[in-house]
Amino acid sequence: MLPPPPRARYVTLVRPIVRLALVGSAVASVAACVENTRGTLEVTADADSVQVVTGVTDTAFVRTRVPGTPIVVVKDTRGFRIPNARVTFTTTSATNGIVEGGIVRTDQQGLARPGAWIAGPDSGTDTLIAYVVGPPGARATRATITARVIDPCLRPLSYVLGATIQGSLTGRGCIGTDTSLVQPYRFTVGAAGVYEFTSSSTSYPSTIELVRESGFPLGIFDGDGQQGATLRAALAAGTYVVRPGAFARPKATGAFSLSSGPSVLPQGCQPNFQVLAFLMAGTSLSTSLTTNDCSFQLPIQNIFAGQTIQDIYAIYVPPGQQAVVRMQSTQLDAILVLYNGNGDPLFGNDNGGGGTNALLSFNATQLGARSGTGAVGYVIATSKGQPGPYTLSVDGVLP
């Protein structure tokens, strides 16, 4: 006996045009259903284009959230919007910022929005890329969104040396040396001299920074975590920027006061061996070693053995430049000792300035700086145990 013939499947007769419509519907359905039961991505979308619906028109500030929310739309080859498509928002490098929540799905209208876009660290144009990867073998489609970014550190407010003003830190302020907020003010020094700058706030521990117009530091003082901070600097005639701010409080905001004026160096041993002043090339100052100054053991044994008194100064040396510090006195056997930014003694000088005067010459590399960068050094002005007046001067090059 022969086995029964195989049962024929039931087939519904569908006109060709209707069949094509059903096939197109099935493809669209596959494109929208992009994950299997294990959550593994199988097909993202049969996307033909990613287009910007809403870009960014407001100016952004470095390291802060770009205002406005960019929106893109994802479409297929026929121009229909694709819901539930996986869209990735990314930046090409850290200079273009970062994206928080960069992988999203399109909504029912085929629209996608990223999370926060945080601008990069530099002024210029930041670029955000939105892209969709199609099925295997399909090309990736993308759109780009740009934002104009400015650095508020390069947009200082005007300030008159000697004035007392009230200011405020805001969330869009300049980022200082320790990544906390600062407010920059540009001012002009008419005559070389020693000047003092004070910032205080009841909202946060204060700091104050002094920089060249180029941004290279001249002096930084954090106030030791106190509500007020005072910085002294020997400045040549020219234009500078002073930046009062918060110390070690990256999100601190609030009101502060800023004041400045000519300064006289204090006498006596300063708390925590604080520097008397920051120095720059083309300046000089006159003061005295006194019996009330801090006493210490000279670390350079072949110059002087025993306890002596000292004054401490700091100097930032730009890359590629030589700093020359001279200590001159008619009453002291002058000694200069150089320390690096970590507080390690490097070398000293006794009579290099002629007679009993001292001279130090050094560059940023000797202070431990990497190639092409500057560094800070600490200069100790001392003597072979004698108190008395002296003059300290700073040149930019060794004669």
Provide the whole-model pTM.
Answer: 0.72
Q: Please indicate whether residue 115 or residue 24 has the higher confidence score (pLDDT).
A: 115
- Can you give the residue ranges of every domain in the chain? 44-150, 153-262, 271-395
| 384 class by beta-carbon count within 10 Å (0-12 exposed, 13-18 middle, 19+ buried) | middle
pLDDT confidence band for 19 (50 / 70 / 90): very low
User: Among positive and negative, which fits the CA dihedral 259, 264, 268, 273?
Assistant: positive
Rounded distance between C-alpha atoms, residue 373 and residue 319, angstroms: 5
235-264 pLDDT, tens per residue?
A: 999 999 999 999 988 889 999 999 999 999
Q: Which helix (H) or strand (E) holds 32?
A: helix 16-32
Q: Does 153-262 match 44-150 at the fold level?
A: no
Pick the CATH number of 44-150 from 1.10.10.10, 3.10.100.10, 2.60.40.1080, 2.30.30.220: 2.60.40.1080
Q: Does domain 153-262 have CATH number 2.60.120.10?
A: no
What SS3 class is residue 319?
Answer: coil
Rounded distance between C-alpha atoms, residue 175 and residue 179, angstroms: 5
pLDDT confidence band for 137 (50 / 70 / 90): low
pLDDT confidence band for 46 (50 / 70 / 90): low
Question: Residue type at 311?
Answer: D
pLDDT at 136: 61
Rounded distance between C-alpha atoms, residue 324 and residue 152, angstroms: 34
Q: What angle do CA 286, 287, 292 make, to 5 degrees?
A: 170
The CATH fold assigned to 271-395 is Jelly Rolls (2.60.120)
39 has a pLDDT exceeding 80 = no
Please say whether the beta carbons of 160 and 192 come within 8 A.
no
